[in-house]
Every structure is written in C-alpha cells, then in structure tokens.
Amino acid sequence: MKLGDLAQIVRSKNAGPFELTFDLIFPDPETFRRVRNSGVITKELVARLYGLPSEHVLHLVFVPAARAIKATIVRPVPSGSVGDTDVYGAQQHAPWLDVEVPLPESQDEEVEE
C-alpha cells in the first residue's frame, strides 16, 4: 500500500531556516506498528526521496505514543533565500505519499515498543 493511503496526516514544515521536518501520523497503533515494522522507513529512504546525502537526514524518530514518525533533513535551500520556492516548507511532503509499504498478511509480527 502507499504511505499516503495508510497515514492519517503527512505534512512538512520548517524546523528553522535551515531544516525541514516531516510528520507521518497514523490513525491507530496497529497501522503505525505495521509501517514501522515493514522496515521501509529509513534514513536512506528519506535521503533518496529528497536527493540528499544520508548525512543530511538529521533525525528519524518513531514515536509509538503519538502513532507517528518524524524525520528532519537539511533544507536544500535556506528558507527565504534566492531559489527557495516554499518559504514555510509546507509543500515538501509529497514524495512521502507514493512510498510503497509492503504490509504482512499476518498481524502477528510485532516488535516490542
């Protein structure tokens, strides 16, 4: 399934003038666990989605209590500088929507929180 179909919220925003952050929030704990356990969401994936070296993926955090995944990257262009097309960083989430997440047939595959 596509991540855009699984997540309740997929958004991006500035995390200061030099960073972008992405929030993926899922409708229930089971969907969050299944996406997390799929192993698809990695720093390497984030780097590939945004054409960045993996060291520019600053954070990738799984937050079970919030049913959320949060990633932060170095902005390719500082907010508000020449060449910036999205000063608020609010339109940068689209690459996440088409990420394919293979979900297991069985829901028995759980990893401790």
Q: pLDDT by residue for the chain (113 residues), tens digit each?
A: 999 999 999 999 999 999 999 999 999 999 999 999 999 999 999 999 999 999 999 999 999 999 999 999 999 899 999 999 999 999 999 999 999 999 766 555 455 55
- The answer to whether residues 87 and 77 touch, using CB atoms and an 8 Å cutoff, is no
- The answer to whether residues 12 and 29 touch, using CB atoms and an 8 Å cutoff, is no
Query: In sequence order, what are the beta bridge partners of 57?
Result: 73
- The answer to whether residues 70 and 22 touch, using CB atoms and an 8 Å cutoff, is yes
Highest CATH level, class, for 3-76: alpha beta
User: Residue 106 is encoded by which pair of tokens?
Assistant: 């069985």
| CA–CA gap between residue 24 and residue 46 (Å, rounded) | 12
